[in-house]
Structure 1
């Protein structure tokens, strides 16, 4: 198993319902990684950059970030841009996970440095398939960079 196999997965998602469904789908596939949640873009940046009231964050950088676009405060596009411009964080894979199928959103995210763009499915069975693909590709197939 690759070293990133037990690194946390950071989910940046403001919807408790979406996060709960995603957590259920990950558990169904016996994901050994801890799944951490930030509820908005500011909290995600605070976590990843290790500043602010959570100065002890992060103990370990995530294997990847699953990032919603439409967040309160700092939105997902701004988070993506800041992560990809930060020399300490830019190698962390960022997967956009949004309800938007707008081609402009997709193009903008790739232009800003997204590693992948997935649309959130409505049906739980499709969500299960997408999470299985995420786990299989990003944690079992890809060679991820070592980020400290």
Structure 2
């Protein structure tokens, strides 16, 4: 049985946000998506302890607090550290990949250029996490 996920998308590019929402709709998934434009805004969303997400999709290249800085803050918080965080980025930089796994990311997905490939990757990521037993923090 698959669960409906509460997803926090942290993405500063409005086109990428629209693409994810379009993909979820196209796949007819029942997940709820909360959006934050940067790490600072995401931290404000995460202050609402009664509405914490099941998973976080995190872009790396953002203003104010970049993805790696956000990930460090998240993983140093005793409550929030257990929320699976999947990096969704255009960066294929091996240094970024290593740093994210070192901090404790649950996955690192490179956004493909072709929309069909993007849909396929998002479907797999969300399907995987919707069958996992997730900790409710």
Q: Aligning the two structures, in what range does the TM-score lie when normalised by the shorter sequence?
A: over 0.9
- Where has structure 1 moved over 6 Å in runs of 4 or more? none
Aligned counterpart, 1:119: 110
- After TM superposition, the score normalised by the length of structure 1 is 0.88
Q: Give unpaired runs (5+ residues) of structure 2.
A: none
In structure 2, the partner of 1:86 is: 77
Deviation at 1:114, TM superposition (A): 0.4
**Distance in 1 separating the partners of 2:54 and 2:28:** 16
| 3-state DSSP of counterpart to 2:17 | helix
SS at match of 1:6: coil
CA contact (8 A) 1:7 1:63 kept: yes
In structure 1, how many angstroms separate the alpha carbons of the residues matched to 2:20 and 2:69?
A: 23
Shift of 1:134: 1.1
RMSD of the TM alignment (CA)? 1.2
Per-residue Cα deviation, 1:105-129 (whole angstroms, up to 9, x for no partner): 0000000110100001111101110
Kindly indicate whether residue 6 of structure 2 is the aligned counterpart of residue 8 of structure 1.
yes
Q: Measure, in 2, the Cα distance between the counterparts of 1:124 and 1:59.
A: 34
Query: Is structure 2 residue 101 aligned with structure 1 residue 110?
Result: yes
How many matched pairs? 137
Aligned to 2:44: 46
How does the TM-score come out when normalised to structure 2?
Answer: 0.95
For 1:95 and 1:47, the matched residues in 2 are separated by 17
Contact 1:7 1:60 in 2 (8 A): no
Aligned with residue 132 of structure 1, among 110, 120, 123: 123
